Amino acid sequence: MSSWIELLTENFDALASGFWVTCRLVVGSFLLAAIVGTFVAALRVAPSKWLQRAGGVYVETFRNIPLLVLLFIAYFGLRRAGLPINTWTAGISALGLYTAAYVAEVLRSGVFAVSRGQIEAALSLGFDQRETLRRIVLPQAMRTVISPLGSITIAMIKNSVIVGGAVAINDLLKESRIIASRTFETEAAFFWAAVGYLLLTVAATLAIRRLEHRYAIRR
């Protein structure tokens, strides 16, 4: 065990830089996924059939292509086609757009979870469309989507290792593999990588807990 701590102190800079790269990758992809996901969800519940279909095409495309293939298309494919996309843009857009499809589905199901009867009741009580959405539908939808969004975020943190592997970004896993290949201390190197990922997923879990608590129904 002492040699494991030694490995951490000796390679702290490398592991910290890998951790930081993973953080940036995850935060960037999360923001992109949240923005695009909300937009696509809005399309899917829009009053026009064509907008709904456009949203559906997005979700089915990005959800049905494996992340690794998306990365190859975003990085190698586009570069071959003459578009000099950089590593970070390719990595964040692939992971973000992939996750956005899942976010959109969760948001849509959240909105649909509020029964039609409530909307009719609100409208008949004199709320207008906007108010109905803001005061009746969204607060209830929010409650149902928090937990699945948390699962998606955690899945995204773990999926970030695929980005590091495919487009040669030195993320946490890659840095620990470099350390493992240099020191041959495979177990210790991967143990610290696991601790790093655990820090991120635990942080995400706690954030989700807080949100769940805030939106919980007080009975």
Instruction: Select 84 or 117, whichever has its Cβ closest to another protein.
Output: 84
Helix ranges (H only) for the chain are 2-10, 12-44, 49-64, 67-72, 78-80, 87-112, 116-124, 129-131, 138-167, 172-183, 186-214
Binding residue (CB under 8 A) for another protein from 168, 198, 203, 206? 168
Put residue 127 in one of left, alpha, beta given phi > 0 → left and psi -120 to 50 → alpha.
beta
Is 108 a residue that touches another protein (CB under 8 A)? no
Stretch that binds another protein, among 37-45, 51-59, 135-143, 171-179 (CB under 8 A): 171-179
CA distances from 112 to 133, 138, 150, 162, 166 (A): 12, 10, 19, 33, 37
CA angle 190, 192, 195 (to 5 degrees): 110
Q: Nearest distance from residue 125's CB to another protein, in Å?
A: 26
Is 147 a residue that touches another protein (CB under 8 A)? no
Binding residue (CB under 8 A) for another protein from 80, 116, 130, 219? 80
Cβ neighbours of residue 26 under 8 Å, at least 6 residues apart?
A: 156, 157, 160, 200
Instruction: Select 44 or 143, whichever has its Cβ closest to another protein.
Output: 44
Is 69 a residue that touches another protein (CB under 8 A)? no
Q: Nearest distance from residue 182's CB to another protein, in Å?
A: 7
Is 117 a residue that touches another protein (CB under 8 A)? no
Stretch that binds another protein, among 4-12, 20-28, 50-58, 176-184 (CB under 8 A): 176-184
Residue owning tokens 């701590």: 5
Instruction: Select 152 or 175, whichever has its Cβ closest to another protein.
Output: 175
Q: Nearest distance from residue 78's CB to another protein, in Å?
A: 9
Stretch that binds another protein, among 61-69, 128-136, 163-171, 197-205 (CB under 8 A): 163-171
Binding residue (CB under 8 A) for another protein from 44, 108, 143, 174? 174
Query: How deeply is 51 buried, as exposed, middle or buried, from its count of CB atoms within 10 A (0-12, 13-18, 19+)?
Result: middle
- Report 177-196 residues binding another protein (CB under 8 A): 177-178, 180-182, 184, 186
| Closest by Cα among 149, 145, 119, 117 to 134 | 119
Put residue 170 in one of left, alpha, beta given phi > 0 → left and psi -120 to 50 → alpha.
beta
Sign for the CA dihedral angle at 29, 34, 39, 41 comes to positive
Residues at the contact surface with another protein, assessed by CB under 8 A? 75-76, 79-80, 84, 87, 165, 168, 170, 174, 177-178, 180-182, 184, 186
